[in-house]
Structures are given as structure tokens and as C-alpha cells.
Structure 1
């Protein structure tokens, strides 16, 4: 009989399903987050490792706090779960985001990303893809009207930039749902970086974005309704195939860390939601180089995008999912 109080005694696959990360990655989080978490001042205080596991369990399921705490491997009250989520999310945002969410700046790194995009989608000189996705939230008590998005529900509009391997290289979750994508992009650090490089004479680095973004010398968007047989139509086709990578990234992020999926709204203030989104993005990036794989199911909305073979990177038949 295994020790029912020790989550690490669970089988590896079951452990990953419960917490969204494998045992090695959770051990990495213990080593890097425990020194920054508040120490136990009394004997009954929940250990710091357990606080991390509680937060991970919530990120992976999006369940109600009471339900997370009542699981036999965690056994904590709703109030404790709430504090753990806030503490761990903020700690990850402050200490691990700078290490794991980094926009490529060096020529060597960018050339590797460009080669990967070229290999997978046959589109030259692309460094990243950009898109925004809505994270459903409970109506906030302040400026509630600003959080109603174009689809009619309350949300944070989160800007995500990713590379060809689905690694998130930049994320901004701090805007309300009514904010359009172009408004979030305009003052962003990545745009300022690309603009400064362009002003210095750099002409071979581009992002791909959809029609919600403005056409700029460093950001390529779609032509409007071109004939599919002319160069503009062929460009649109290649653009959509390549930019579908960001759709896959959004899909994987929400399916693995289901607190972002919208099945249950995040019932927190917008600032806390931002920390949770960043924490999930960091964990998403941890999983990719570690080779952690999950069964990703299609989301509810049917959006026709191109699916890439996981072994060779070639385009396959359309799959249906959304970011």
C-alpha cells in the first residue's frame, strides 16, 4: 500500500494529470519557490511544499477552492486554498517569469527560431506569432463595464507571443476584455524593441498577427479577401498556416491548465487573475523542454486551422480548436 498522504507516491502519469507537471518539474518548483514563500511561523501552518501543490492542483483543474482543499492528498480549508493560490501565483510571476518567458533578442537565438518556422511552415524570417485570447472572469466590483468583451462575457484580454515550439516568449494579461488587440500591442515592450531595431536598420525580423493588428514593418498581417491564385492569396495561405501555431499554443495552455479554460470563471480580482495567467504560462514553458505530453481535446468553438505533425512538423488535415 502506498502512502496516501504523499503525492509523490502516485504513479507518474497520475501525478502529471493531477498537477499539470511531472515530478521533476514540481521538485524544480520546490527548489526555486520555497525560499521565497513565507516561512511557517506556527506548527499548524501548511508547509510551503504543500502550498505549491495546492496551487498547482487549482491551476490544472480550475475547480472550486473548497473542492481542491477537500481532496485527500491536500486536505486544506477553502481559506487556505485561496491564500495558497495567491501566494504561489505571485511568487512564480515575480521570480520565475523573467527566467522562463523571454522574447528572443540575440541573432543566434533568432536564427534558430527562423529556421524552425521555415522548416515547419515554409515562411522565412519569422521570429514569433502573436495573438490575444480571453480569460473569463467574474464581473469585477470596479469598472465592471470595461471587462465585457465583444462576445458578451467578462474577461481579461491576454496578449500572447510564442515561437515555433509553442514556447511563450511574451505575455501580457493586464488588460480588460473590452480592450482591442491593437491597443494592447501599441505600448508593449516587444513593439518598442522591434521598432528600435528597425530604426537601426534591421529589416529581417517579423511577427505574424491576424487582422486585429495593424500592418507594420515588423508585424505582418493578412490581405483582405484576395484572389487565392494571385501572390497576395498565396501569401495569406502561408500566413494562416504559420500563424496557426499561436492557436495551438493558446489551446494547449488552456487545456493543460484548465483554470484558464472558461468552464468556470476565475473568481478573483483582475490583478490576481494576471498573476494566475503568468504562473500558468511559466508552467506551460517548463513542460515543453521537459517533454511533458498531455492528451489535448478540442475546445468548444470550431475554428478551422492547420494542424502540424508532431514528428516531422509538416502540415496535416485541419483540426478544430481555438485559442
Structure 2
């Protein structure tokens, strides 16, 4: 909770009131039974968030916190935010976006870059794996989709087109022969993006991105209790379950159907992200800046989803036209035993 005390003090709250609030939270526990130590563990349960503390009080404290965290964005870049909103959230064609960017002065372009960087600073507040809610609720949300047990996220890659870079141009040409950033995204059942890897050239395979990401290492060390679902572009691992390549009639087919229906949530989430933030149809910037913009767009998507904002157009969840689904990698698929056990216990 140190962030809250810092923000309260820097917002001009008298020290005596800070100490009163500290005493209220001393040794408190959430309704889910977790000791309060970080804001991202504020979860509302059936008996209230923290015994004796009203939800309205927490909202007030959170408002103080966010007011301080976003002070740089609101004060230094207020006019730029209005302009950036037109660019990032634009629901017009990319031609109109590009036309708007063409008339921008160099100073305005720098301000847009500053806003993007400022939004990135909020990444670990709005993009949290496996989520802000207790893992039990995340699993329940995924289970309700198609009855697949223990799922804490669905993952897939999506290609964000970019202009040809001047350096290492060939690395960014993907299997569909256009330049792109291959972005790994993980989401929950509520279309909240819980993890994003936006740094890889389009020629890099999904399986390599997952294998080298920090989250994969944490899964391998047993830091999470639950499974990710992925398509056949990923290896089958004890914590990353993929469909059977040639399912037998019965349990394996039912397993594949449940896997596919649950995994459709990531396709829907990617579709919503691109529908809300039309600039992702093609970014006319360097790869480094493109990665920053992608992360900023993910944060804006999560904020919009949390607020219940209407998606401007119905996302196409049948297939991502900018993403290929290649043959399964040749990596050792040491998750087969876990997959077989789930298939036998839950889909017989």
C-alpha cells in the first residue's frame, strides 16, 4: 500500500489523515482472504472488499491514487491527449488517420510519443497476469464458456502491420509477406488483456515468442496454478494445452471442442482491440515506436473494457486475417500426459 500513502502525501493530504487511513488498513484482509499489500489485490467479494471499510471509501482512496499516477499525463500532455485520442481511438479509415498524421508538425509527433510513453508507465496497473481478481474467479469465468477446467488465460499471436523499416528490414517480413510486429496476447474470459509481448519482428514464430517470454519461465517454475490454452502453433506443455492434432472420436473430440470454444475468447479480444484502435490496422512508424503504441493501445483497451465501453464495431472472431496458423512446432510436446489426464477426467 506504499503507493497509496505516497500519492496521498503528494496530493496534499495532511499527515494525520494519512495515519488514520493507515490504521484502518493495518493487518486487513480482503474478502477473498488475501492480506492487503498492493492495490492490485483489491477485490470485491460477497462480504465487502475489506471488513469495516465501505466500497465508497476505497473508491475515494483509489481516486487519489490514480489522480497522482496520471498527473503527468493530465497536466503536461493535456492538449496532446485530446489529439492522441483522435489518432489512437479513431474509428475512421486508415487513410484519414494517415492524412491527419501527415499534417502534424514534428513537435506534435513528439508530444504523441510522450503520451504513448506516459501510458506505458501504467502498464503494470492495467495489465496484470493472471488478473486483478483471485485465480478462482478467473478459472470459473473460463470454465463457464465450455466446461474446460483450470484455465487462467488464452493466448495467441497477432500481426500488426508496419511500414518497411530501414534496419533489418527482412526480419519483419512475416509468412504472408508483409512487414509486421508479431504480438503475443493473453486474455481472460472478460476480454481483459492480462499479458502482452510486443517486441518481436513478424518473422518470429509464436512458439519462440512464448518460449522466451518471462511468463513462460514463471510457469515453468510453478508460480501459477492453472493452464493457458493455445492453438496448434504452440507446443503442448504441462501449463499450455493445445488441441489434439488428430483427435479420436469421443473424449478427444469433446476436449478439442471445449478447447476451441474457450480459446475463441482470445480471438474475440484481439478483434475488439483492433476495432477500438484503428491505428493498429497499419502503423507508419519505426518498429520501436510501433511496439510502444501497441502497448498503449492494450492499456486503452483494458480501460475501455473495465468501463464497459461499447466496441465501435462487431469484432470478427472467425479468423485474424493478419495472423497465420502454421503447422505445430517440432519442440518436445511434454504436456501430452497432462492433456490426456484432463481429457479422461473431464470429457469422457
The normalised TM-score by structure 1 is 0.72
CA distance in 2, matches of 1:138, 1:125: 40
What is the deviation of 1:36? 5.6
CA distance in 1, matches of 2:314, 2:142: 25
Matched residue SS, 2:216: helix
Residue in 1 that maps onto 2:26: none
Residue in 2 that maps onto 1:210: 231
CA distance in 1, matches of 2:265, 2:78: 34
What is the deviation of 1:225? 2.5
State whether structure 2 residue 218 is matched by structure 1 residue 237: no
Matched residue SS, 2:89: helix
**C-alpha contact (below 8 Å) 1:168/1:281 kept by paired residues:** yes
State whether structure 2 residue 206 is matched by structure 1 residue 190: no
**C-alpha contact (below 8 Å) 2:267/2:319 kept by paired residues:** no
Matches within 5 A, 1:34-183: 34-35=71-72, 39=76, 48-61=77-90, 62=94, 63-64=96-97, 66-67=99-100, 77-93=104-120, 95-104=121-130, 109-183=134-208
**C-alpha contact (below 8 Å) 1:55/1:81 kept by paired residues:** no
Uncovered stretches (5+) of structure 1, i.e. residues with no partner: 1-27, 40-47, 71-76, 305-323
**C-alpha contact (below 8 Å) 1:89/1:279 kept by paired residues:** yes
Task: Mark the CA change 1:38 to 1:286 in structure 2 (over 3 Å): closer, same or farther.
Answer: closer
What is the deviation of 1:31? 6.3
Residue in 2 that maps onto 1:307: none
TM-superposition CA deviations, 1:60-86 (whole Å, max 9, x none): 22544552687xxxxxx4434322221
Task: Mark the CA change 1:97 to 1:173 in structure 2 (over 3 Å): closer, same or farther.
Answer: same
Residue in 1 that maps onto 2:240: 219
**C-alpha contact (below 8 Å) 1:146/1:177 kept by paired residues:** yes
Residue in 1 that maps onto 2:310: 293
Matched residue SS, 2:234: coil
Task: Return the structure number with greater strand share.
Answer: 1
CA distance in 1, matches of 2:218, 2:197: 15
**C-alpha contact (below 8 Å) 1:158/1:172 kept by paired residues:** yes
Task: Mark the CA change 1:142 to 1:53 in structure 2 (over 3 Å): closer, same or farther.
Answer: same
Task: Mark the CA change 1:302 to 1:249 in structure 2 (over 3 Å): closer, same or farther.
Answer: closer
What is the deviation of 1:190? 1.1
Matched residue SS, 1:117: helix
Task: Mark the CA change 1:35 to 1:298 in structure 2 (over 3 Å): closer, same or farther.
Answer: closer
TM-superposition CA deviations, 1:296-317 (whole Å, max 9, x none): 2355x9539xxxxxxxxxxxxx
Task: Mark the CA change 1:69 to 1:137 in structure 2 (over 3 Å): closer, same or farther.
Answer: closer
The normalised TM-score by structure 2 is 0.67
CA distance in 1, matches of 2:75, 2:110: 11
**Count, aligned residues:** 252
What is the deviation of 1:38? 8.8
Q: Which of 97-106 and 58-67 deviates more? A: 58-67
CA distance in 2, matches of 1:66, 1:34: 31
Task: Mark the CA change 1:193 to 1:291 in structure 2 (over 3 Å): closer, same or farther.
Answer: same
Uncovered stretches (5+) of structure 2, i.e. residues with no partner: 1-64, 321-348
TM-superposition CA deviations, 1:105-130 (whole Å, max 9, x none): 79x71111001111222111000000
Matched residue SS, 2:272: helix
